[in-house]
Amino acid sequence: MAEAAIHRRITPPGFGEQVADALLSGRGIWPAVPAIVVLTVVAVIPFAILLSLGFSDFEMSRGAIISQTFSFSHLTNALTDPLYWITFQRSMNLALSTTALCLLFGYPVAYLFLTGGPWTKRLILVLTIAPLLTSGIVRTYAWLVILGGRGVLNSALLQAGLIDQALRIMNTHWAVLIGMVQIHLPVMILPLIAVMSRHDSRLVEASENLGASRIGTLRTVILPLSVPGIGTGSALVFTLTYTTFVVPQILGGGNYLNAATMIYEQVVFSLEWSKGSVSSLILMVTCLMVLVAIALLTNHFTKWTKGHDA
Amino acid sequence: MMHGPAGPSNTVETTAPVLGIGAVGKRFGATRVLQDFTLDVAEGEIVTLLGPSGCGKTTLLRCVAGFWEADGGTIEIDGQDIVDVPVNRRPVGVVFQSYALFPHLTVARNVGYALRMRNKPRAEVAQRVASVLETVSLTGFENRYPSQLSGGQQQRVAIARVLVMEPRVLLLDEPFNALDAKLRGAMQVELRQLIKRLGLTSIFVTHDQEEALTMSDRIAVMSGGKIEQVASPDEIFDRPATAYVADFIGVSNFLETEVETGHVRLPDGQTVMTDLTGGVKVMTRPHNLRLGPPEAGPWKGTVSFHRNVGPLIEYHVEASDGNVIRVSAMRQERDCPVKDRSQVSLSVIDPASCSVYPG
Ligand SMILES: Nc1ncnc2c1ncn2[C@@H]1O[C@H](COP(=O)(O)OP(=O)(O)OP(=O)(O)O)[C@@H](O)[C@H]1O
Ligand SMILES: [Mg+2]
């Protein structure tokens, strides 16, 4: 009798429950299926088209492709054209220096967040997140107002008698750099804060108790433990700035050619789709190379985390 | 106070406390967490702070270590006030409850941390780390990361990391909390022997009375940010100064009664001398009580529960006035085999061991 009752209770779960269980078990690829579908539609297919455009010569007639032959010519043309080299170098320089400056300015803010009281923390969070709530374009135009020939900065400097002639900042490399750093700073600060506040605050106290100065603690405890945050922040800022379009376009005054603006011109103005797709490929491959380098560096400095599985 | 080389003329100085805490107060907003806290710890002595959760034990340690600033009072080490000395210059070592080991450093580098921060030469660091690791029996674990160690091993690393800097005062905040009961017992004995061998002056924090009885030379029982009694474990257990201490340490039976000219009468007819007057509470330990057949005495009751606690049997006896009295007896000497619900009489073995407190 009792056995029968027990048997009845351990009947297998219903089909719906089984599906839900399988989805949430974390095993297999099921939870990723929606993302895979979306990515295939919006990324993989366009990418395939991009590849086929970049590696083929084709003849068009009335907006339709009539013949298509495989060819490396667009790639070899691009790699031998000094304009490409200069442009990609400019993009790379801009992205690397923006990343470095964001880290330089962002790290102290994250450190302040870590060591500060509750009000400091709140203030930093508000100041970091608030800019993200306004569009990048709006913020970029704000810099126009500040840095322009008759902008806030020049008026102030002139008034103070520090300069006798308006500085030309707009439409220069400097304007682009300033705008880029300001716009991407939160993207650096947030991962830093997230990683730093994950660690036990007792570690800092232990370090001081063991005789470390503030600098010693920063160098030997806080910095090594924040490496994953530095890695994530740098990867994000680099990717965003290396492929950026809006800021160079507005603050560079239309004559600041970087990779993204070049692709835009090739595709939209000169309708050279093959050139555009080759440029995009180069942009993507070089970006990935830097990301891999960042990942390797991050890994190298966080070897200790591998101990968890060993 | 000067510290010359040890010699016959220094006898007074060597008996002076290593750590002197005088009238320290600490408040958070309106709540006073420490009030007028005074405690001296002598050379090589282990004093345990024992008290319920939230009574201010950790707060006191944090003030001594310098993580928090006390609101008033003095904290002296070897007669020198350290209140204005920054954390990293105090000769104080802290073993944290969570260990706070550096996860990104190997055992050897965790242990050598204090020496590296003092810019000691490499060779000296290596040699001292090796010797400390041997002291805590962790030789061979040098290159592991903390996440690759068991709780007990992490605990040893935390202790080794502090020992290596040869602190004048060692502070331990519930260092065994994360360990299971058996390991905890073993570590208590081991740590006490180690501290004694090294002659370290220590404050040990716990809210586990057994741990306090094992570890301490003296126990300071705290309540609400103040010390109720500081004394040796035996004295705390046998002659608790207040009803609070008696209640906190060990099991105690309280009997409410009235003083009759210089003595109180126990329910079994015996008397206990006292200077108090009026309503009082008499405290007696379970092992100072004896069960007998119901006709043996005037203090009668019914056994409501009993259990074996290792070599002891613990009885709960419901007395005729409704009080539940706890009695313990060795398991072998069952001169009176007692079952639940049976009628018994109670008697005090040694009335002089009872304590009397104001009611
Ligand atoms: N940063 C703080 N701000 C406000 N109140 C605090 C703070 N830290 C501790 N307290 C209060 O101080 C009192 C004492 O805390 P403390 O940590 O010293 O207790 P404890 O004796 O160590 O307790 P436990 O045994 O639980 O560790 C508690 O009531 C606590 O709420
Ligand atoms: Mg505590």
Residue A2 lies in a domain: no
* pLDDT for B3: 44
* pLDDT for B140: 93
Does one domain contain both A89 and A58?
no
Partners of B102 on chain A (C-beta within 8 Å) are: 203, 206-207, 221
Does one domain contain both A53 and A91?
no
Does one domain contain both A174 and A260?
yes
CA atoms of A71 and B256, how far apart (whole Å): 104
Cβ of B55 less than 6 Å from ligand 1? yes
* pLDDT for B6: 39
Q: What is the pLDDT of residues B186-216, one digit of tens each?
A: 889 999 999 999 999 999 999 888 899 999 9
Q: Domain range spanning residue A130?
A: 81-306
Residue where a domain terminates, one of A46, A70, A94:
A70
Residue A227 lies in a domain: yes
Pick the CATH number of B19-91+167-246 from 3.30.450.20, 3.40.50.720, 3.30.70.980, 3.40.50.300: 3.40.50.300
- The DSSP element (H or E) to which B246 belongs, if any, is helix B243-248
Looking at A242-246, B1-5, B47-51, B328-332, which range is the least confident one?
Answer: B1-5
Does one domain contain both A21 and A168?
no
Residue A6 lies in a domain: no
* pLDDT for B8: 41
Mean local confidence (pLDDT), A33-43: 86
Q: Tell me, in angstroms, the distance from the centre of ligand 1 to residue B312's CA.
A: 37
Q: Tell me, in angstroms, the distance from the centre of ligand 1 to residue B28's CA.
A: 9
* pLDDT for B2: 41
Question: Is the model more confident about A188 or about A160?
Answer: A188
Q: Tell me, in angstroms, the distance from the centre of ligand 2 to residue B160's CA.
A: 21
* pLDDT for B19: 95
In the predicted structure, residue A310 carries a pLDDT above the cut 50:
no
Residue A76 lies in a domain: no
Q: What is the pLDDT of residues B7-49, one digit of tens each?
A: 343 334 457 899 999 999 999 988 999 999 999 999 999 999 9
Contact B104 A211 (CB under 8 A): no
In the predicted structure, residue A65 carries a pLDDT above the cut 80:
no
Q: What is the pLDDT of residues B290-311, one digit of tens each?
A: 988 888 889 999 999 988 887 8
* pLDDT for B333: 58
Mean local confidence (pLDDT), B332-356: 82
Does one domain contain both A248 and A131?
yes
Domain chopping of chain B, boundaries: 19-91+167-246, 251-358
Does one domain contain both A246 and A125?
yes
Question: How many domains, chain A?
Answer: 2
Residue A3 lies in a domain: no
DSSP class per residue in chain A? -HHHHHHHHTPPPPHHHHHHHHHHTS-SSGGGHHHHHHHIIIIIHHHHHHHHHHTEEEEEETTEEEEEEE-SHHHHHHHH-HHHHHHHHHHHHHHHHHHHHHHHHHHHHHHHHHHS-HHHHHHHHHHHHGGGGS-HHHHHHHHHHHHSTTSHHHHHHHHTTS-SS----TTSHHHHHHHHHHHHHHHHHHHHHHHHTTS-THHHHHHHHTT--HHHHIIIIIHHHTHHHHHHHHHHHHHHHHT--HHHHHHTTT----HHHHHHIIIIIS--HHHHHHHHHHHHHHHHHHHHHHHHHHHHHTGGGGGGT-
- The DSSP element (H or E) to which B122 belongs, if any, is helix B122-135
Does one domain contain both A30 and A94?
no
Does one domain contain both A46 and A146?
no
Does one domain contain both A103 and A189?
yes
Domain B251-358 has CATH 3.40.50.1220: no
Domain containing residue A236: CATH number: 1.10.3720.10
Partners of B145 on chain A (C-beta within 8 Å) are: 304, 307
Mean local confidence (pLDDT), B338-358: 89
In the predicted structure, residue A229 carries a pLDDT above the cut 80:
yes
* pLDDT for B121: 96
Mean local confidence (pLDDT), A56-78: 79
Residue A293 lies in a domain: yes
Does one domain contain both A213 and A250?
yes
Regarding an ipTM greater than 0.95, the answer is no
Does one domain contain both A123 and A213?
yes
Share of chain A above pLDDT 70, in %: 95
Residue A94 lies in a domain: yes
For chain A, the average pLDDT equals 86
Q: What is the pLDDT of residues A199-223, one digit of tens each?
A: 888 999 999 999 999 999 999 999 9
Does one domain contain both A249 and A113?
yes
